[in-house]
Amino acid sequence: MSLPPLVEPAAELTVDEIRRYSRHLIIPDVGVTGQKRLKNARVLCVGAGGLGSPALMYLAAAGVGTLGIIDFDTVDESNLQRQIIHGVSDIGRSKAESAAASIREINPLVNVEIHNTALDRDNVREIFAQYDLIVDGTDNFATRYMVNDAAVLLGKPYVWGSIYRFDGQASVFWAEHGPCYRCLYPEPPPPGMVPSCAEGGVLGVLCASIGSIQVNEAIKLLAGVGEPLVGRLMVYDALEMSYRKIKVRKDPNCVLCGENATLTDLMEDYEDFCGAVSVEAQEAVVDSTITAAELKEWQDAGKDIFLVDVREPAEYEIVRIPGATLIPKGEILSGEALAKLPQDKQVVLHCKSGVRSAEALAALKAAGFRDAVHVQGGVLSWIKQIDPSLPAY
């Protein structure tokens, strides 16, 4: 369905703006009026990472008058495979500052507002209220639900995107005209069910594919052209090179935007709601957690342990802790790997950061491996505390 323009047009375009945006101006559906609307628009991009990079660059090139960037992270070498708004010289620099510098190079006519802070329950409403439209480039469920809830409570539309390995999704959520994110996903997935990009990987160019779709939707909303993805979920498979659209209906029983909504304010704890680690895993790690330094001490002392790496084979190929045997978490959770584990040695589990190994530990405890432990911080802690020469990923 077509929707009215989200913003009013600016008073005029300067001679420089007419020259710069001439290819937009000659498109009948955009024209001078549409470009004036873009100039008058205020768009916030949540995250300057994989999706935020192409989104910010194309929003700037398109002439969106004010771009807000919220990101508290710093640029890491592993980001450069997909976060194209940053460069080698930006490593260690604030992502928000780095992105702002790139935007100014692309289009000095754009006003950039930096929010170099973590988005949380205390500031999300104040920050969102300053913008007409939100582009969501987040990579975790807790922030996604918070972005959705704040947008609905403020009556703001937002463009959502998600990426994983070769798969991408995009939609527009605007409770006034269609469903919200909770209508599509009323509950977050169980802890550990959906790996993050850091755990499962993502094809770098997929970020550009989904990020550019997000910008396309943003422009349509701001200028009031075309049919935005309100009430539709676009699913992209980069391996099959296929796109498909799925209808998403507004849920009359949605706790946030339904007819009898019960969620009338932001939740107290989104991390708890999304369960970064299951209750079983939280219980399992109590008194069953060791540090990377303790693991090294055990190895040096010749302690009789069986070290298990619960990551995926591709991760194991990149970097591994010496002496570890690869048994992916899925094989432990299914019970398939239990026969491979010795009964006469203490089992020590590790993953990349400690989340997956905690889930696997819970499964082992339930199967009778009472003295099993896991390594807090996993491979990342091993690299930091024991062997900085190993590649972080």
Q: What is the pLDDT of residues 220-277, one digit of tens each?
A: 999 999 999 999 999 999 999 999 999 999 999 999 999 999 999 999 888 767 766 7
Dist. CA 54–CA 59, nearest whole Å: 8
Contact of 5 with 223, CB cutoff 8 Å: yes
Q: Are 75 and 93 in contact (CB under 8 A)?
A: yes
Under a CB-based contact definition with an 8 Å cutoff, are residues 186 and 263 in contact? no
Q: What is the pLDDT of residues 284-316, one digit of tens each?
A: 999 999 999 999 999 999 999 999 999 989 889
**pLDDT score recorded for residue 190:** 67
Note whether 99 and 50 are within 8 A (CB): no
The larger pLDDT score, comparing residue 2 to residue 285, is at 285
pLDDT (average), residues 71-93: 96
Eight-class DSSP state of 31: H
pLDDT in tens, 319-347: 999 999 999 999 999 999 999 899 999 99
DSSP 312-335: -HHHHHH---TTPEE--HHHHHHS
How many Å apart are CA 164 and CA 237, to the nearest integer?
Answer: 10
State the pLDDT at residue 41: 98
Closest listed residue to residue 112, CA positions, set 134, 96, 93: 96
pLDDT digits (tens, 9 = 90+) for 150-200: 999 999 999 999 999 999 999 999 999 999 999 999 988 866 667 677 777
Residue 1 has pLDDT above 90, yes or no: no
Q: What does DSSP say about strands 305-309 and 167-173: parallel, antiparallel, or unpaired?
A: unpaired
Whether the predicted pLDDT of 354 surpasses 80 = yes
The catalytic site residues sit at 197, 351
Q: What tens digit of pLDDT does each residue of 114-161 get?
A: 999 999 999 999 999 999 999 999 988 999 999 999 999 999 999 999
